[in-house]
Structure 1
């Protein structure tokens, strides 16, 4: 009797495990299987042993190994590309559905190799990141922690495209709107008349920054539970990871211009009123941005810098993403990025990256709506900021300067 009862319990537990495995497989891989440009070969079917033959002690490691196997069969290591080049069978699809897919055989074939200087540029940027992360003279909070130690809420800037095996860490004020548009096109997360949107610039701005349009690492916990961090590591190992950066001081100027020189009710209430009260001798600033602009009141760039340097600022809340340091947004010492783009060389870098991802026939990097803040304006903008404050500001953003190869702005710091 006891043996029969144990057998039934074991069968029930084994069945529950198989159902869980099927759910996770369908959620994580099945969806991308349906929408890849080229179909994924399922490979040879390997029969699973009956549940009663599986020892209970190996349940969790076996499950994680299965997840690794699922991802590995779809990707070539380090490329994020499907391994099966067979064309899609569209014989029973509608014309719109047929138009939707782009078989591998139609992908661009480049007759000339990528310029050697572009490949060398990327090698130098990746090598610099590795050296700076290993250099004890570069010190910043969280530098030496492991990926597992990064709180989930700090992984919200890592956008995942499972269709093409891409992870993009977006940095606000570094052409992130256009790169988010590209990620929406590639992931086919926006449909128009039942067909995926293909024109990045046709995507409305409010949707570009709508979090529901992007699948980010911090959402893994809700979908995968306790297996979330393991899946993140699998994707980080197999997918192509990229980010774009710019001169840290120029990025701050761009953030100030966009959020405080233009009418932005949200930023006025959350930040501008604080700056006006604390640094501009405005104990009762206007209640709305329209009222403030009507009488010519808004925080100056110097007030903005004072706000960044005030120790009380981050005691109340972390820096807003538009001026938070890149090392805090993208964790370059925990994540080994495959491609590091600079806004200063955006067009060349974008073309290089899209070719490397082999999606340059699917989407092009938009050339309009480009941020126009120039590095040559730095001296003018910082002329109202005391020299000592400039030096303190450099210390605050020095890790970004050194990690990504930007020269110390001596002309600004040594006046």
Structure 2
């Protein structure tokens, strides 16, 4: 009996010991599992922290880059805003003192045709010849919803006029007054000496206005040859300037391509909100478009302006040339006219002035428009550099004005003085 009790006690003790050991093992195993889980969680946490740090750093870098880009755009916009504010203030200040003097004498019906407007966007643009008006008239058709084209360069320069864009021509005066008071108004101007020379090159030198050429020869050239009188193909810049002075003094035989800018777009009467300049046409165009809430068009032109402007001119001038060859074949040979148009593009800084016209007189007789156009593209040369192109234009300008007498130059400065004062150009120097 006693031995059985002892045996039972020994077994019970042994079982309790085994239970305690199992509990210890279980505890150790649980601790090990918890440690592993915590370790994995720690490594996962650390890994994600590094990933998140890289992700955040990427976002921070992009954000900083975006901030820099936005800052640059904002600084540029601020600078342009100051420029346009200064131009407006100058206009107001000059006109405040000279309003009566600077009214101009152009007939009202002629002035009305220069103004185009869009009632939906409430904008008014005064289109001035020889100051990017061919470009802006096409662009205005798109802004006014009159064309489905995405870019003004998609429209032919020949389509600049018309396009069902509304003008002031047939509007009652009280409606015009309301528009001028409430709509946003803008205009583009240019150095008046450069504009006058550009008008000569584009319309007289290249025989676009042969009727004016004939008139100038008859009135400004003593002992002119019969061919020159009949054709007006060889008018010099000095003769053109004499014609211009006479036309402004007598108010006869004037033309919008040569008309002083203040008499063309009436700045003292209109009071423009934005005054762009041809010298900075890309920057001013994009700024004005953004100000008028045409931001998508501004972005599009930002990327295509320079190259497409050159190509646009090449195509337009080539079309004009081959049309004029037929028109003027009784006065001038195809070879002579082709060389004139080649020189014209050199004066405008669009092809290198040192590259000669590449076709002989015999080749000119059979020359096709596509061949001439390809030759233009091959002759860009140093004009690809905008600074060089500007220098070439300036050299041509100075060379032309060097032929003007002191008397005519003084008279010219007096005629162009209002434009210089209103728009901030130097009338004492062609440079």
| TM-score bracket, shorter-length normalisation | 0.5 to 0.7
Q: Does the aligned pair in 2 maintain the 1:276–1:283 contact within 8 Å?
A: no
Q: CA deviation at 1:164?
A: 1.5
Q: After the TM superposition, which residues 305-384 of structure 1 pair with which residues of structure 2 at under 5 Å, given as runs? A: 305-310=241-246, 314-317=250-253, 319-362=254-297, 364-365=300-301, 366-367=305-306, 368-369=308-309, 372=348, 374-384=393-403
Question: How far does residue 312 in structure 1 lie from its aligned partner after superposition?
Answer: 8.4
Which residue in 1 is equivalent to 2:120? 163
- Structure whose residues are more often helix by fraction: 2
Is the 2:207–2:213 Cα contact (8 Å) retained in structure 1?
Answer: no
Question: CA offsets, 1:194-241, max 9 Å, x none?
Answer: xx222211212222123x533111132xxxxxxx21111221122110
Seen in structure 2, the aligned counterparts of structure 1 residues 378 and 205 have a Cα distance that, compared at 3 Å, is closer
Partner residue, 1:186: 143
Residue among 125, 130, 135 paired with 1:173: 130
Distance 1:378 1:197 in 2: 35
State the distance in 1 between where 2:129 and 2:160 align.
12
1:206 alignment partner, SS class: helix
Match of 2:51 in 1: none
Do the aligned partners of 2:95 and 2:102 also contact (CA within 8 Å) in 1?
Answer: no
User: Is 2:148 the counterpart of 1:213?
Assistant: no
Query: Among 202, 209, 213, which residue is 1:272 paired with?
Result: 213
Q: What SS does the corresponding residue of 1:218 show, helix, strand or coil?
A: coil
Alignment of 1:17-32 (within 5 A): none
Q: Give, in whole Å, the separation in 1 of the partners of 2:430 and 2:280.
A: 22
Equivalent residue number for residue 124 of structure 1: 86
Unaligned runs of 5+ in 2: 1-69, 314-347, 350-392
Post-superposition shift, 1:154?
2.0
Q: Distance in 2 between matches of 1:251 and 1:166?
A: 25
1:299 and 2:299 matched: no
Larger RCO, structure (CA 8 Å, separation 6 or more):
1
Coordinate RMSD, CA, aligned:
2.7
Match 2:201 to one of 235, 257, 265: 257
TM-score by length of 2: 0.58
Judged with a 3 Å threshold, the aligned counterparts in structure 2 of structure 1 residues 411 and 324 are, in CA distance, closer, same or farther, namely closer
- TM-score, normalisation: structure 1: 0.61
On the 8 A contact 2:245/2:412 being kept in 1, the answer is yes
Greater C-alpha radius of gyration: 2
* Alignment check: 8 A CA contact 1:166 1:241 kept: yes
1:188 offset after TM fit, Å? 2.1
1:53-81 per-position Cα deviation (integer Å, ceiling 9, x unaligned) = xxxxxxxxxxxxxxxxxxxxxxxxxxxxx
Distance 1:163 1:403, change over 3 A: same
State the distance in 2 between where 1:197 and 1:402 align: 38
